[in-house]
Amino acid sequence: MNTAAGDSYLTDGYTIRSWLLTTDHKRIALLYLGSITVFFFIGGIAAALVRLNLIVPQGLLGSAEAYNRLFTMHGVVMVWFFLVPAVPVTLGNFVIPLMLGARDLAFPRLNLLSWYLFVAGGAITLWALFVGGVDTGWTFYTPLSTAYSKSHVVLAAAGIFVAGFSSIATGLNFIVSIHRLRAPGMTWYKLPVFLWSLYALSVLLVLATPVLAITLLLVMLERIFHIGVFDPAVGGDPLLFQHLFWFYSHPAVYMMILPGFGVVSEIIPAFSRKRIFGYKFVVWASVSIAVISFFVWGHHMFVAGTSIYSAVLFSILSYLVAVPSAIKVFNWLGTMHRGYIHFDAPMLYALGFIGLFTIGGLTGLWLAALAADVHLTQTYFVVAHFHYIMVGGMVSAFFGGLHYWWPKITGRMYPEMWARVAALVMFIGFNLTFFPQFILGYLGMPRRYFSYAPEFQVLNVLSSAGATILAAAYLLPLAYLTWSLVYGDRAPANPWHATGLEWRTPSPPPTANFAQTPIVTEDPYSYQPPGAVPKHG
Amino acid sequence: MASTAVAHDFQYSSPAHQAQTAIAGMWLFLATEVLLFGGLILCWIFSRHANQPGFDAGARETTLWIGTLNTALLVTSSFAYSVGLAFIRAGNARAMIWCLRAAVLLGMVFLALKFGLEWHRDFAEHLFPAAPQFKLHGAGQGGARLFFVFYFISTALHGVHMMVGIALVFWIIVRARRGAFSPLYHTPVQAVGLYWSFVDIVWLTLYPLIYLIGRG
Amino acid sequence: MRRAFAKLLGTWLLLLLLGALEFASSFLPLARCWRPLIMLPGVLMILAVAVSFMEVRKGPTIIRAFAAAAAFWLLILLALGSADPLTRIDYRLQTGEEHDATISSPP
């Protein structure tokens, strides 16, 4: 695999075999990018149909059954096949070895296996959804999922089970790579924050996902063999399912957001031309979030019938986990303060992230309070809360990172004006969609209901209108990013004059990443004021 | 495990570095397995706590001698494998192969006793919880059923891991007979040994949960 | 080799001893809620396997971190997970039967 001048990983083999049997982390990242884009649009179509249904109080689609299956499809596809994988498997896979100064991840063949497991799991789940779907919600609560639902629970659970092993393998690969493959001179405190964030994410992936695996296995066995672990009539406990499920799923939401934190932590310094404020705080905040996120799962179960003592404990711990996230917001603001801000598209997405994530995070604090949660739980307040974090935060971060590293990945610049327009439209559409939902929740509209009281209609219509705008905003990047692959300007090695080892390779990089293993002497984010030539050490 | 031969001098700083990376990867994988079985243990806790009399009544129906003998067999198998690893470190591949064969044999006897004898007995005595005719009746029946749910799932899952382990040890034996290992290079032997000992550890956890605690 | 074998043999004998201890302790007349303490020799057996057969104390520090993380997170799952059922008040259905499960006559 010698690379001559002008060659890159993209030109290193044109056959389908060279793509489907690649062990190059960069190609695997692109395989993943294609897959998650497909899943994103499938989940998005389900969301569009959900919002369509909610335009009229009696439910436009006319069927509660169909509605249940739609919001389940939306949740399942978005959570496991877009949000959890998106940044790690596309941006993470591509950038991690470059940022480390390595040739590839520690276990390249395992990386390829991860992709195949992901696709297999996705295929099984899509099959379940298209032969009729599941009506339990993405949370699969028992005993509905195990005893009463007449939908394809086992098939959907099997698909997620398989995809879970993809997550575990990826997390394992990332952790071992970050430990063992750092370039000479790259001590832990010289790692870019993106790597720390992905390391924290990977700890979550490897420790939480196995519990999901055993939980789904138990659900499948209960449904097929009626084993009874979740059935009170036999002495089982439906809450056991919720404990096991949320032990995974609460860390899962941190799996979704930590990479977003990492992306934003790369973009803000680059577009403020200033080193990150409080590097060690940001780093240890990420690690703390990873650890504490395992201690808070009971806050999803405050009204489920758990003991009040356990609820109090989980409430206190949930307040604790908010602290490191808040710290990061101050770090990003501190980075921008007295910086030289450039409002390129990645920065617009990062700024949107900070605002929307803060709103989502603060509303989480209300939900963590037992007394408030009694009224707000299972309403649209919760829906708005997590969409502010997942869509307002995580999806913005994903698009920000995609634009930021697009020149490196493809060797092309995207059209800046269209990208800014898309970021702005996304911000507007997002707020129009989800802000009314906070009000709806406060007013008492329950979630997962296909119809609602007529007095909620205006806010619902606003929300659905916003969803249309949001959909357009997501189609824009699909269009102009594809356009840029053929017509975009050729990108230089470092179009943003950013620090980081990945910017020292050509755009796009050769298969081997580096002609020589780089040696690291400088701190990360050693930005100079404008006018000075950026030092790379 | 770099992607091409050219990459060796970039990906790892030395063969020792590469070997340690593989071992680190195996330990991390085993950590994930701890959490997998951990979920089942939480299931045991919930089931026993809510149904203590019935659960323990179920536990008394297990075949103590098979469980205890199996524990001794697995511990010995783990010992045999470790001795094999010590042999290859000392340069004696032939002795290592015999030790690994012993480890596999003990593992296969375990499986034969567990699935061939013990499960057979359990089915014959109507202890399968999902079958319509369950051996135990009365108020504690639910608890007894839940005990056997845990019993069958955990031993099945452990059994699957054992079978994978046996296949891996066979693979090591085959490679060893082709002369793949030496005192300088035996990383796969060590990695598979870690997995094998771990499967032993899982059994050491299941043994009291299944055979001893309920037998009061 | 001889020293290595002696150490491993010592561990094996220790394991058998601890196993016998665990087996014997199961016959102690402990109250039902204290019976899980029978596992204590078992925990020592696990430690012996990890230290001696798996050599957790040798090798790079990272493997000890992974092993410690596994143990710690298992503890969190079990401890925080049990906090609810152990402190909860269960309201049982009145079925009218108060005795333990009994074996029926042979089918």
Residues for chain A: how many in total? 537
CB count within 10 Å of CB B49 equals 16
Q: What are phi and psi of A234, to 5 degrees?
A: -100, 0
HSE-CB at B4 with a 13 A cutoff on CA atoms is 11
* pLDDT (mean) for B141-147: 89
Place of tokens 């997501």: A474
Run of H or E residues at C8: helix C2-25
Using CB atoms, which residue from B7, B31, B54 is nearest to A103? B7
Pick the closest to residue B195 from B168, B157, B214, B155 (CA basis): B168
On chain B, the residues whose CB falls within 8 A of the CB of A179 are 24
What amino acid is encoded at A371 in this protein?
Answer: A
Interface of C with B in 30-89 (CB under 8 A): 30, 32-33, 35-36, 38-39, 42, 45-46, 49-50, 52-54, 59-60, 62-63, 66-67, 69-71, 73-74, 77-78, 81-82, 85-86
Residues of A whose CB is below 8 A from C83? 307, 309-310, 313
Neighboring chain B residues of A103 at a CB cutoff of 8 Å: 2-3, 7, 10-11
CA-CA distance, B71 to C32, in Å (whole number)? Answer: 24
Q: Which residues of A touch C73 (CB under 8 A)?
A: 207, 294
Within 8 A by CB and 6+ apart from A128, the residues are A134, A152, A155, A156, A158, A159
Q: Given an 8 Å threshold on Cβ–Cβ distance, is A298 in contact with C69?
A: no
pLDDT confidence of residue A39: 97
Q: CB count, 10 Å around CB of B113?
A: 18
Closest CB from A243, A301, A307 relative to C87: A307
Q: CB distance A229–B43 less than 8 Å?
A: yes
Name the one residue in this structure whose structure tokens are 């705080």: A281
Within 8 A of B135 by CB-CB distance, chain C residues are 103-104
Strand (E) or helix (H) holding A250: helix A238-272
Of A332, A327, A329, A302, the residue nearest A317 (C-alpha): A302
* Peptide linkage before A508 cis (omega within 30 of 0): yes
Distance CA A458, CA A465 (A): 11
Q: Work out the minimum CA distance from A470 to partner chain C, whole angstroms.
A: 39
**Sequential DSSP letters for C20-76:** HHHHHHTTS---GGGGGGGHHHHHHHHHHIIIIIS-TTSS-HHHHHHHHHHHHHHHH
CA dihedral A321, A325, A328, A333 (to 10 degrees): -140
CA B208 and chain centroid, separation: 15
Residue A182 touches chain B, beta carbons under 8 Å? no
Task: Report A:73-112 residues touching B (Cβ under 8 A).
Answer: 102-104, 106-109
Report chain B residues whose CB lies below 8 A from the CB of A3: none
Does the beta carbon of A310 lie under 8 angstroms from any beta carbon of chain C?
yes
Over residues B155-174, the mean pLDDT reads: 97
Q: Which two tokens stand for residue B69?
A: 């003998």
Q: Are A246 and A301 in contact (CB under 8 A)?
A: yes
Distance CA A205, CA C50 (A): 24
Task: Choose, out of A212, A237, A243, A297, the residue to mutate when testing the contact with C (most C CBs < 10 Å).
Answer: A243
Considering only CA atoms, give the Rg of chain C. 21
C5 and B83: CB-CB below 8 Å?
A: yes
Cβ-defined contact of B25 to A176 (cutoff 8 Å)? yes
pLDDT value of residue B4: 32
Contact C63 B24 (CB under 8 A): yes
Quote the minimal CA–CA distance from A90 to chain C in Å: 26
Residues of C in contact with A298 (CB under 8 A): 80, 84
Q: Is A48 helix (H, G, I), strand (E, B) or coil?
A: helix
Q: Are A534 and A497 in contact (CB under 8 A)?
A: yes
Percent residues over pLDDT 70 in chain B: 94
Chains that touch B (3 or more CB pairs under 8 A): A, C
Strand B136-137 vs strand C102-103: parallel, antiparallel, or unpaired?
antiparallel
Q: What is the ipTM of this complex?
A: 0.91
In whole angstroms, what is the distance from residue B144 CA to residue A249 CA? 30
Report the neighbours of A using a cutoff of 3 or more CB pairs below 8 angstroms: B, C
Number of C-beta neighbours around residue A408 at 10 A? 25
Question: Whole-angstrom Cα distance, residue A85 to residue A34?
Answer: 12
For the residues C13-38, what does the mean pLDDT come to? 92
Beta pairing partners, C102: B137
* Closest chain B C-alpha to C82 CA, distance in angstroms: 7
Mean pLDDT for C35-50 is 94
Distance separating alpha carbons of residues A393 and A355, to the nearest angstrom: 8
Chain A closest-CA separation from residue C99 CA (Å)? 15
Q: Does the pLDDT value for residue C29 go beyond 90?
A: no
Q: What's the gap in Å between the CA of B121 and the closest CA on chain C?
A: 15
Contacts of A112 in chain B (CB under 8 A): none
Other CB atoms within 10 Å distance of the CB of residue A233? 10
Average pLDDT, whole number, for chain C? Answer: 86
| pLDDT tens per residue across span B57-95 | 999 999 999 999 999 999 999 999 999 999 999 999 999
* B77's tokens: 């198998």
> Which of A24, A106, A244 is nearest residue B42 as measured by Cβ atoms?
A244
Phi, psi angle pair for B137, to nearest 5°: -120, 180
Distance CA A435, CA A154 (A): 35
d(CA A178, CA A206): 15
Q: Most distant CA pair in chain C: distance in Å?
A: 66
Residue A379 phi, psi dihedral angles, 5° rounding: -110, 180
B53–C101 C-beta distance less than 8 A: yes
Residue holding tokens 């299956």? A69
Report helix angle A64-78 to A25-53, nearest 10.
Answer: 160
Measured between beta carbons, which residues in chain A are less than 8 angstroms from residue C77? 211, 247
* Residues whose CB falls within 8 Å of the CB of residue A488, separated by 6 or more in sequence, listed in order: A410, A412, A413, A414, A415
Interchain pair B35, A102: CB under 8 A: no
C70 contacts on A by Cβ (under 8 Å): 207
Nearest alpha-carbon partner for A470 in A434, A445, A437, A438: A434
Shortest Cα distance, chain C CAs vs residue B87, angstroms: 7
Provide the residue-wise pLDDT of chain A in tens; the chain has 537 residues: 344 446 889 988 889 999 999 999 999 999 999 999 999 999 999 999 999 999 999 999 989 999 999 999 999 999 999 999 999 999 999 999 999 999 999 999 999 999 999 999 999 999 998 899 999 999 999 999 999 999 999 999 999 999 999 999 999 999 999 999 988 889 999 999 999 999 999 999 999 999 999 999 999 999 999 888 999 888 899 999 999 999 999 999 999 999 999 999 999 999 999 999 999 999 999 999 999 999 999 999 999 999 999 999 999 999 999 999 999 999 999 999 999 999 999 999 999 999 999 999 999 999 999 999 999 999 999 999 999 999 999 999 999 999 999 999 999 999 999 999 999 999 999 999 999 999 999 999 999 999 999 999 999 999 999 999 999 999 999 999 999 999 999 999 999 999 989 999 998 999 988 888 888 888 888 887 666 555 543
CB A213 within 8 A of CB A175: no
String of DSSP letters for A459-485: HHHHHHHHHHHHHHHHHHHHHHHHHHH
The alpha carbon of residue A243 is apart from the nearest alpha carbon of chain C, in Å, by 7
Name the more confident of A174 and C94: A174
Considering only CB atoms, B35 lies closest to which of C1, C77, C99, namely C77
- Touching B: A residues 192-211, CB under 8 Å: 206-211
Q: How far is C90 from chain B (nearest CA, A)?
A: 8
Contacts of B17 in chain A (CB under 8 A): 180
Average per-residue pLDDT for chain B: 90
Q: Report the 10 Å Cβ neighbour count for A34.
A: 10
Q: Which two tokens stand for residue A261?
A: 């934190």
Spell out the alpha helix ranges (H) of B5-92: 8-11, 15-50, 52-59, 64-89
Chain C partners within 8 Å of A294 (Cβ): 73, 76
By C-alpha distance, the chain B residue nearest C28 is: B216
Per the DSSP assignment, residues forming a β-bridge with A412 are A490
Beta bridge partners of A446: A379
CA distance A219 to A235: 16
Going by pLDDT thresholds of 50, 70 and 90, the confidence category of residue B13 is confident
Q: What pLDDT does residue A438 have?
A: 97
B·C CB contacts under 8 A: 174
Q: What 3-state class would DSSP assign to B136?
A: strand
Show residues of chain B in contact with C93, CB under 8 Å.
Answer: none
Residue B2 has pLDDT above 70, yes or no: no
Residues in a beta bridge with B137: C102
Per-residue pLDDT, averaged over B112-123, amounts to: 94
Give the dihedral of Cα atoms A464, A469, A475, A477; nearest 10 deg: -140
DSSP letter for each residue of A386-409: HHIIIIIIIIHHHHHHHHHHHHHH
Find where tokens 């007995």 sit.
B121
